[in-house]
Amino acid sequence: MANGGIYLKITIDQAKMQHSKESGYVGSVEFRVENHKEPYEITLHSKNGKEWSYGLHFLQTSGSEEEIFAVEELLDEHDEYFDLLVNAAKETLEN
């Protein structure tokens, strides 16, 4: 997977998701990106499980704006990275 020709490896540390009629799907994924100093957390929300909104932030302490902007761009432009995080959270749903 490439971002301007650069391969970025994402490692998922923890994922969770819950579903209710009232709130829809609400989840989060803690992850690291190779060669980035700080880990990230993405929070996810969807009413129907198909169209997602998200918030991306540093997990513990603030890091490089350049790095978080690169991750945001990656998620916006390469669906496979975003889908990887969404699917990791969805896999934790209890049936």
Express each pLDDT in 68-89 by its tens digit. 999 999 999 999 999 999 999 9
**Average pLDDT for residues 35-55, to the nearest whole number?**
95
What's residue 7's pLDDT?
66
**Average pLDDT for residues 2-14, to the nearest whole number?**
74
What SS3 class is residue 34? coil
CA 77, 74, 85: angle at the middle one, nearest 5? 100
Higher pLDDT, 94 or 74: 74
Cβ atoms of 44 and 31 within 8 Å: the answer is no
Confidence of residue 1 (pLDDT cuts 50, 70, 90): very low
Decide if pLDDT at 2 tops 80.
Answer: no
Strand partners, 25: 19, 46
Decide if pLDDT at 4 tops 80.
Answer: no
Amino acid letter, 2: A
